[in-house]
A and B are shown apart, each in its own frame.
Chain A
Amino acid sequence: MELKKYTISVYSENNVGLLNRISAIFLKRHINLDSFSSSESEIKDVYRFVIVVKIDINKINNLVKQIEKQVDVIKAFYHTDEETIFQESALYKVKSNSLFEERKIQNIIKQSQANIVTVSPKFFVIELTGFREETEKLYNDLKPLGLLQFVRSGRISVTKEKMGISEILNTFKNNNNKI
């Protein structure tokens, strides 16, 4: 069995219960998700899930077909890292006094090209978007200086190849008008 990391992109209707239906496909096969995120896509009312999994290369195709089989799913794809452009976002909450007491911290922020989102008398919040290694490095650098909270988003990604969702929807529209 050869495991590989894939990014699964699912275009779907925005229906209650669809998330459950998709996660059930992973549950049934005992597959843990590395990350998951969803939002409205480039098309109004069409949602896009971005799911990252490590999975047997012989199983990914069948898994994605099972997702696509769901009635409310318009189309599902899978891609390797090389075929996508992807990022993750992370937020770091740090005590404000460390900003002034630890000169080091200012250098860390500068070097990592992170943004300061907010500064208050008690804490400040730093944001960094990038690859996992980058957000992890900043985490490791800030940790000894007193990190109050840390959170990282699931991967968001776009593909190098064309998705063609509008074409699918237009074909349906045209066929239906003909009936």
Chain B
Amino acid sequence: MHQKDVLRTNNKMEKEKYNKITIKQISGAEAMIHCLLAEGVDLIYGYPGGAIMPVYDELYKFQKKLNHILTRHEQGAVHAAQGFARTSGKVGVAIATSGPGATNLITGIADALIDSTPIVCITGQVASHLLGTDAFQETDIIGISTPATKWSYQITKANEIPYVMAKAFYIARSGRPGPVLIDITKDAQFESFDFEYKKCLGIRSYNPLPEINTKKIDEAISIINNAKKPLLVWGQGVILGRAEEELKSFIEKTGIPAVWTILGLSALPTSHPLNMGMVGMHGNYGPNLLTNECDVLIAVGMRFDDRVTGDLNTYAKQAKIIHLEIDPSEINKNVKVDVPILGNCKESLGLLIKKIKQNNFSSWINHFKELYEIEYKKVIKGDLFPKKNGLTMGEAIESINKYSKGDAVIVTDVGQHQMVACRYAKFNRSQSNLTSGGLGTMGFALPAAIGAKMGAPDREVVAVIGDGGYQMTIQELGTIFQTQVAVKIVVLNNDFLGMVRQWQQLFFDKRYASTEMTNPDFVTIAKGYHIDAVRVTKRNELDSAVKKMMLSKKPFFLEVCVEKEDNVFPMIPSGASVSDIRLE
């Protein structure tokens, strides 16, 4: 079926499904619940407070249909909503009160914008007659959130609720997904009106799905068919567009080696013979070096982040660049491209596959293999199978691989452990790697793992966190205890803010300014929340502890005390070329 016909059929089905919901004289607060239910939401995260109490009162009445998870901080709620969105593929919802409740959501909203995660945040607001009076817990959350949201709106009248909420969900999930914030005044929550709900099917000022230009497809095909050393680099667009099968078919037919950005990880199984590894600052040796040797670079659903490209003036200058992208503003933003292909990469890859030549590039692929061998000897072997006394982060991840068999969802925070986990974790299926990539939000992993497990309850969810980031949202252990959500928490503890310390060592003459941490007894803290907890300090204890954790049906905490001053390699120094990647 043609792209538009599919859209039309889907829309038609949806239209019939939610043809119209009408209820006479209900409050704005109750209407908010009906909107959520109409959008298929059955789980939300939040924290109550004065300005949102009418909605919470309705949540009490609707608790059989709509489950509310009380986090311990609003930041926890928004990260949990992100985690939920990323494993379930649905829109995550977080709800908070006005003032500090709303401002506490901001970090997660900014994170969701830069990592394209569909969430809807609902905040209470002071009554409309108090707006602008500096009332108790009043803050201009629309103003504050504007640059961090895809869209936002302040509801001051109950009758605005249905169409604004419908629009919010439509905007959050369509096109390049992102966060939407809906602020609702307290009087609008109390006000009664005749409720009528229709799903949003389009907005005249917003075109989420640019039409694919078939001329560009033909241009790309001719470039790819004539390539000698092509390289494909994919990002999260493949996962968001559910284009995993198309990606696989495309590389299998063409024989083109493929590499991934950190947010693209898991879209293609780790074991796939054409999966050559990660690009970027701590990516693999071959993928980075050969970016500057390929003759054609096919970028799929990625945005040439500076952590991927390094110095733009020396990035893939020799290559013809083809960019498959849904967001027109990403075309030529960082890297000038030769052939832009706008649209959902599921469709555009599909069109490319049809006419592309079957091929194989075995000698080009051998380059990757040779460089992998070098990286293996210099870096990987020592990380995964160390001979030294101290434990490494790499062997902890390898141990998780042993028992997850690549089927777990791995949620990471930000820092050394994140790079190590993304480098070494094995994945068999998509939507399995959750991390804060663009914003680099420490404190993301623990609450995101809660949402991830609830979004994919049948899957094992392992949060891998550093000792620094863990303590930024450690209060969410309370949420885990209360809900008994069976997340597995692995803290890789080096008593340092390890990545900053690594930079201090390499670029600031080892002046360790405020990076060493005197940490509490993490096991005792977990036990205080009645969560099973184990600490590992020796190599011979690691596997059995990980095994125990993976077999547990309950939440589980594992602290692995690793070498204090290990560094993550390979590394492209900040601002350097991908060709300047260092192995030590």
Q: How far is the CB of B182 from chain A (nearest CB, A)?
A: 12
A176-B206 in contact given A62-B332, A66-B329 (Cβ < 8 Å): no
A21 to B147, CA, bound (A): 7
Chain B residue, CB-CB nearest to A172: B204
Asked whether any CB of chain B lies closer than 8 Å to the CB of A68, the reply is yes
Decide: B147 and A28 in contact? CB cutoff 8 A: yes
Q: How far is the CB of B127 from chain A (nearest CB, A)?
A: 17
Decide: B329 and A69 in contact? CB cutoff 8 A: yes
Within 8 A of B (CB), among A51-108: 61-62, 65-66, 68-69, 71-74
Q: Chain B 343-376, CB within 8 Å of chain A: the 1/0 string? A: 0000000000000000000000000000000000
Chain B residue, CB-CB nearest to A63: B329
Decide: A74 and B329 in contact? CB cutoff 8 A: no
Decide: A71 and B332 in contact? CB cutoff 8 A: no
A16 to B12, CA, bound (A): 32
Asked whether any CB of chain B lies closer than 8 Å to the CB of A13, the reply is yes
A28 to B146, CA, bound (A): 12
Decide: A62 and B333 in contact? CB cutoff 8 A: yes
Within 8 A of A (CB), among B154-213: 154, 171, 201-206
A16-B154 in contact given A24-B146, A62-B332, A179-B8 (Cβ < 8 Å): yes
Partner of A74 from the list B142, B202, B205 (CB cut-off 8 Å) is B205
* Chain B residues in 8 Å Cβ range of A28: 147
Asked whether any CB of chain B lies closer than 8 Å to the CB of A111, the reply is no
Q: Chain B 143-157, CB within 8 Å of chain A: the 1/0 string? A: 100110011111000
Chain B residue, CB-CB nearest to A12: B205
A12 to B329, CA, bound (A): 17
Partner of A61 from the list B11, B327, B332 (CB cut-off 8 Å) is B332
Asked whether any CB of chain B lies closer than 8 Å to the CB of A122, the reply is no
Asked whether any CB of chain B lies closer than 8 Å to the CB of A178, the reply is yes
Within 8 A of A (CB), among B304-334: 327-329, 331-333
A69 to B204, CA, bound (A): 13
Q: How far is the CB of B569 from chain A (nearest CB, A)?
A: 34
Q: Chain A 9-37, CB within 8 Å of chain B: the 1/0 string? A: 00011011100110010011000000000
* Chain A residues in 8 Å Cβ range of B548: none
Asked whether any CB of chain A lies closer than 8 Å to the CB of B15, the reply is yes
* Chain B residues in 8 Å Cβ range of A120: none
Chain A residue, CB-CB nearest to B208: A71
Decide: A179 and B201 in contact? CB cutoff 8 A: yes
A164 to B203, CA, bound (A): 18
Q: How far is the CB of A178 from chain B (nearest CB, A)?
A: 7
* Chain B residues in 8 Å Cβ range of A66: 329
* Chain B residues in 8 Å Cβ range of A68: 328-329
Within 8 A of A (CB), among B444-466: none
A65 to B333, CA, bound (A): 9
Partner of A169 from the list B12, B153, B204, B331 (CB cut-off 8 Å) is B204
Asked whether any CB of chain B lies closer than 8 Å to the CB of A173, the reply is yes
Q: Chain A 159-179, CB within 8 Å of chain B: the 1/0 string? A: 000000000110011011011
A55 to B50, CA, bound (A): 46
Q: How far is the CB of A117 from chain B (nearest CB, A)?
A: 34
Q: How far is the CB of B150 from chain A (nearest CB, A)?
A: 7
Q: How far is the CB of B304 from chain A (nearest CB, A)?
A: 12
A176-B201 in contact given A24-B146, A24-B147, A71-B171 (Cβ < 8 Å): yes
Partner of B205 from the list A13, A173, A175, A179 (CB cut-off 8 Å) is A13
* Chain A residues in 8 Å Cβ range of B204: 74, 168-169, 172-173
A178 to B331, CA, bound (A): 31
Partner of A20 from the list B143, B151, B328 (CB cut-off 8 Å) is B143
Decide: A69 and B142 in contact? CB cutoff 8 A: no
A169 to B144, CA, bound (A): 31
Residue from B153, B206, B331, B333 with most neighbouring chain A CB atoms (10 Å)? B206
* Chain A residues in 8 Å Cβ range of B171: 71
* Chain B residues in 8 Å Cβ range of A72: 151, 205-206
A95 to B310, CA, bound (A): 63
A71-B205 in contact given A20-B146, A24-B146 (Cβ < 8 Å): yes
Partner of A71 from the list B142, B143, B150 (CB cut-off 8 Å) is B150
A65-B205 in contact given A17-B142, A178-B8 (Cβ < 8 Å): no
* Chain B residues in 8 Å Cβ range of A178: 8
* Chain B residues in 8 Å Cβ range of A27: 147
A169 to B329, CA, bound (A): 21
Residue from A16, A28, A71, A168 with most neighbouring chain B CB atoms (10 Å)? A71
Known contacts A24-B147, A69-B327, A72-B206, then 17 further A-B pairs from the complex at CB < 8 Å, ordered by chain A residue? A17-B146, A17-B154, A20-B143, A28-B147, A62-B332, A65-B328, A65-B329, A69-B329, A71-B150, A71-B171, A71-B203, A71-B205, A169-B204, A172-B204, A176-B201, A179-B15, A179-B202
A contacts, CB < 8 Å to B: 12-13, 15-17, 20-21, 24, 27-28, 61-62, 65-66, 68-69, 71-74, 168-169, 172-173, 175-176, 178-179
17 A-B pairs, CB-CB below 8 angstroms?
A16-B154, A17-B143, A17-B152, A20-B142, A20-B146, A21-B146, A62-B329, A62-B332, A62-B333, A66-B329, A68-B328, A69-B327, A71-B151, A71-B205, A169-B204, A175-B202, A179-B15
